[in-house]
Structure 1
Amino acid sequence: MHIEFLIEEPSAEAALNNLAPAILGPDATFQVHPYNGKPDLLAKLPGRLVGYRPWLPADWRIVVLLDADEADCLQLKARMDDIARAAGLVTKSAAGGAQFQVLNRLAVQELEAWFFGDAAALCAAYPR
């Protein structure tokens, strides 16, 4: 299996380069493609996904990772899924347990705080 990570900024690249091998195991390969922020990735995503469609091998997956920031998560995720669908690719959300090509995910602030060990941010978000 091979995974193409499309991420909104270079800062996440270092994290993925360290985490992905441990999560994916020795038989998987991956490549990280950082963009210059969320607007840049969202603007280029339709063309990028259309470009993958004609040659994407069956054992490849595309993971699109965006920060949720202050956006409405449901609307942003729906937009990402719509872009993949318009490109002729099947998302995990639409696959219903069947084969998919694109996994769209949103990183939320609390998850980032946990990942980077920001205890103060976690306590503020979850005071109990």
Structure 2
Amino acid sequence: MADHLEILVEEPSMEAFLRKLLPRMSPPQKTFEIHPFQGKSDLLTKLCDRLRGYKSWLPDNWRIVVLVDRDADDCAILKAELERICATSGLVSRTVARPTFMAWHVVNRIAIEELEAWYFGEWSSVCLAYPRMTPNIQNKAGFRNSDSVAGGTWEAFERVAKRAGYFPTGLAKIQAAREVGQVYDHDNSSSASFNAFRDALLTAWADGQ
């Protein structure tokens, strides 16, 4: 059972989103800290050394969550790279441990395609944050599957927001992350990648398996 999560994310907007979301999602007496990097390449370059550092002192009741955007990468290849880095560091990932029920230290998760896809996956929360947004966006062609919005999800979110009169000079990603994260309904998302991330956290907090 994990009492504390160390969450590594690739950029500040994901940190901003999670700092608003996780206090509403975490069980009582559970804690977390979020560590942003300067993009995916920065996180991947530094990840092995960071995990090796954790290995030297990580308490038994702590877990590490690594979260990166898929962007245009092949999801299976990216996940395999995260798993390889974890193994090289000497820590055990949840993927490796799960079949044998052994203890694990790290869970790797991928946001598909990026944070803004999670917004499309729970559009009622977006409309709560931004009431002028088109309420039925998930019924429109191209938006029904939030994890496969074509042409870049942050760009798509920016276009929809501008049409509603928000962010006229361009999407303020950190501001949007805070405002959506504050109201995001984590139990009602249709984004498979968000749900996989959420379930990994809840499982770690509940029983560590």
- TM-score scaled by length of structure 1: 0.89
Specify which of 71, 86, 89 is matched with residue 87 of structure 1. 89
Q: Is it true that 1:113 corresponds to 2:120 in the alignment?
A: yes
Corresponding residue of 1:102: 106
Q: What secondary structure sits across from 1:3 in the alignment?
A: strand
Structure 1 vs Structure 2: percent identity of aligned residues? 42
Whether the 8 Å CA contact 1:91–1:101 is kept in 2: the answer is yes
The range that moved more, 97-106 or 3-12, is 97-106
**Pairwise mapping of residues 49-68 of structure 1 onto structure 2 (< 5 A)?**
49-68=51-70
Q: What secondary structure sits across from 1:78 in the alignment?
A: helix
The structural deviation recorded for 1:25 is 1.5
The range that moved more, 93-102 or 116-125, is 116-125
Whether the 8 Å CA contact 1:61–1:102 is kept in 2: the answer is yes
Between the two proteins, the alignment pairs up a number of residues equal to 127
- Cα distance in 2, alignment partners of residues 36 and 122 from structure 1: 35
- Cα distance in 2, alignment partners of residues 122 and 112 from structure 1: 14
Corresponding residue of 2:39: 37
- Cα distance in 1, alignment partners of residues 139 and 118 from structure 2: 9
Q: CA RMSD in A?
A: 2.0
- Cα distance in 2, alignment partners of residues 19 and 59 from structure 1: 22
- Cα distance in 2, alignment partners of residues 42 and 18 from structure 1: 25
Whether the 8 Å CA contact 1:5–1:62 is kept in 2: the answer is yes
CA gap of 1:33–1:91, structure 2 versus 1, over 3 A, is: same
- Cα distance in 2, alignment partners of residues 57 and 72 from structure 1: 33
The range that moved more, 23-32 or 55-64, is 23-32
- TM-score scaled by length of structure 2: 0.56
Runs of 5+ consecutive residues of structure 1 not aligned to the other structure: none
Whether the 8 Å CA contact 1:6–1:64 is kept in 2: the answer is yes
Runs of 5+ consecutive residues of structure 2 not aligned to the other structure: 127-132, 146-209
- Cα distance in 2, alignment partners of residues 42 and 51 from structure 1: 15
Q: What secondary structure sits across from 2:66 in the alignment?
A: strand
More strand by share: 1
1:32-73 CA deviation, whole Å, 9 max, x = no partner? Answer: 100000000000001100000011001101000000111000
Whether the 8 Å CA contact 1:114–1:122 is kept in 2: the answer is no
1:63-120 CA deviation, whole Å, 9 max, x = no partner? Answer: 0000011100000001001101110101010002332100100001343532574864
Q: Is it true that 1:28 corresponds to 2:46 in the alignment?
A: no
Q: What secondary structure sits across from 1:83 in the alignment?
A: helix
- Cα distance in 1, alignment partners of residues 138 and 29 from structure 2: 36
